[in-house]
Amino acid sequence: MGTFTGSFKGFGVTFAHMFRKVITTDYPFSPPTPAPRYHGRHILNRHPDGLEKCIGCELCAWACPADAIYVEGANNTDEQRFSPGERYAGIYQINYARCIFCGLCIEACPTRSLTMSNEYELARDSRQDLIFTKKELLAPLLPGMEQPPHPMRLGETDKDYYVGALTNPGTSAGAERAPWSDAGTEDAASTAGAADARAETAGTLHNPGKSAKEAV
């Protein structure tokens, strides 16, 4: 009797679905829009002057349960500065054949360098191409940004660079919210910039560079 009731309930679920509206997406011509907090492809963000937010600390790699991240830190010098701190990521790779998109790496990142986008079209023809290097992961340069290496441009001191942002928009605090992220962009100009940046980022996604995978 119990088995009969269970089967009846099971077929009831199937039967109920027969009358629900069919959802058909015309992929890839009309790709569906994921939820705002969808965990997609990672981005390595920049400060507003173009310097990289990543300081090569490797905390993301240690936090990753799938061993999908490889980082090698390198030292900044006054002549060759890639990030505001002492170190930057000389090598940064994420292996999307391993990544389970759990987001633990972005929680571990102390500088909000690493965030996740909504991009989900990550299929590639080979396993090698699923290893994204720093070149593919770095956020694009926006107007006003300068390609590193270069000195810090947002004031004379660390306080200017970081805390000054509270009273002086354009300095570093909050830079991770804009403009390639959907959150935190309220005025029209930054919204337009965000759209451009997302388009540019998407371009790098669909045409990933075939750079050498230095430390596979």
Give contact residues for ligand SF4 (rule: CB under 6 A).
54-60, 63-64, 66, 68-69, 71, 89, 94, 99-105, 108-109, 111, 113-114
- Choice between 97 and 163, CB closer to ligand SF4: 97
**CB-side neighbour CA atoms (13 Å) of 50:** 13
Amino acid at residue number 62:
W
- Rounded to whole angstroms, the Cα distance separating 188 from 185 reads 8
**CB-side neighbour CA atoms (13 Å) of 42:** 32
Q: Does 150 count as an annotated binding residue?
A: no
**Cβ distance 21 to 53 under 8 Å?**
no
Q: Does 67 count as an annotated binding residue?
A: no
State in angstroms the smallest separation of the CB of 109 from ligand SF4: 3
Which neighbouring-strand residues pair with 170?
Answer: none
User: Nearest to residue 133, comparing CAs of 50, 62, 213, 201?
Assistant: 213
Q: Does 57 count as an annotated binding residue?
A: yes
State in angstroms the smallest separation of the CB of 207 from ligand SF4: 22
Q: Does 99 count as an annotated binding residue?
A: yes
Q: Does 185 count as an annotated binding residue?
A: no
- Choice between 94 and 165, CB closer to ligand SF4: 94
List C-alpha distances in Å: 95 to 139, 174, 188.
18, 28, 36
State in angstroms the smallest separation of the CB of 203 from ligand SF4: 22
State in angstroms the smallest separation of the CB of 94 from ligand SF4: 5
Q: Which residues are annotated as a binding site for [4Fe-4S] cluster?
A: 54, 57, 60, 64, 99, 102, 105, 109
